[in-house]
Copies of this chain bind each other. A is one copy, B any other.
Amino acid sequence: MSRIVVGVMGPGEGATDEETNLAYELGGLIAQEGWVLLTGGRRAGVMDAASRGAKAAQGTVVGILPGTDVTGMSAAVDIPIITGMQEARNNINVLSSRVLFFIGMNAGTASELALALKAGRPAILVHQPNDVVRGFGAMAFGGLEAVADAASAMQAARRMLAAAIE
């Protein structure tokens, strides 16, 4: 049985403190659950914070890197996957995750959310503004859920994974 891999997606350099704090907390909960954390791998914003949170809780962290080497990688990544594909790697982030959490929003994150909806991967919007939830909600086919905090995000993910297995 392969391990359960879940993704945490969100802004890099432009992330707010609130977003990185939430990502750190969620990364820790993911590790405690025994799941593998997957992120975009860079040492910036939401992906770095989630990776550090998972690492502090003895989790396993996979980073799907955009460049052709490990330049700029988060120090909390255990297993670097080097794609050399820049933003086209976003589709790998999405396909490889059984569930995806979205914290904060920018163009790169929106591309991952849209690709998740396209691929039918369950997406959990954590503490997102109402207009983001509404805008993407119209494009989802039952696989999108909005929650207020990290604990509720984990509950939603457990429920979605259980539903997918049945």
Contact = CB atoms under 8 A, between A and B. Distances in A.
Interface of A: 1-3, 5, 36, 60, 62-64, 68-70, 73, 75, 77-88, 90-92, 95-96, 105-108, 110-111, 113-115, 117-119, 131-132, 134-136, 138-140
A110 to B, nearest CB: 4
Top 9 nearest A-B pairs (CB, nearest first) are A111-B114, A135-B135, A110-B114, A107-B118, A107-B117, A82-B95, A88-B91, A84-B86, A82-B96
Contacts of A75: 1
B87 A119 contact: yes
B84 A64 contact: no
How many copies the complex holds: the figure is: 4
B92 A82 contact: yes
Given A88-B85, A95-B68, A135-B132, A79 B36 contact: yes
Given A79-B79, A119-B68, A139 B95 contact: no
Nearest to A1: B75
Given A114-B114, A134-B131, A81 B84 contact: no
Contacts of A5: 79-80
Contacts of A1: 75
